[in-house]
Amino acid sequence: MNPNGAGETSHSGTYYAWLDGYGTTHTDTLAQTVSVPAGCTASVSFFIHIDTSETTTTTQFDKLTVALINGTTTTTLRTFSNLNHATGYTQVTLPLSGVAGHSVTIKFTGTEDSSLQTSFVIDDTAFSVS
């Protein structure tokens, strides 16, 4: 976790998760495991800010994958890349299917290639169960 003033800013509060942004071949991960009660539906939401030094408008050089790990099964929920860069934060909500009665892990994996940085900044992550 990084404090405000470390080069990026949080969506709210003081701290945020900053994956990648090195401009060299690199992988960062962030994961959280939660238990979902039986008979419930669940989703994960978060705010994401992506900034990049990449200039392409067609090639995904740097990627952030959001995955759901349920037992031995890993499902990619969403992939972001340097092509998704934007000013400010965007809120994302992802439904979690087939997780009722299980402990599941949400895993964010950022990968950068050998040049030009892309920063994936994540804040205000929340799990919702109903």
**Full DSSP string of the chain:** -EETTSSS--SSSSEEEEEE-SSSSEEEEEEEEEE--TT--EEEEEEEEEEE----SS---SEEEEEEEETTEEEEEEEEEGGG--SS-EEEEEEETT-TTSEEEEEEEEEE-SSS-EEEEEEEEEEEE-
Is pLDDT above 80 for 30? yes
pLDDT-derived band of residue 121, with 50, 70 and 90 as boundaries? very high
Fold of 2-129: Jelly Rolls (2.60.120)
pTM, full prediction: 0.92
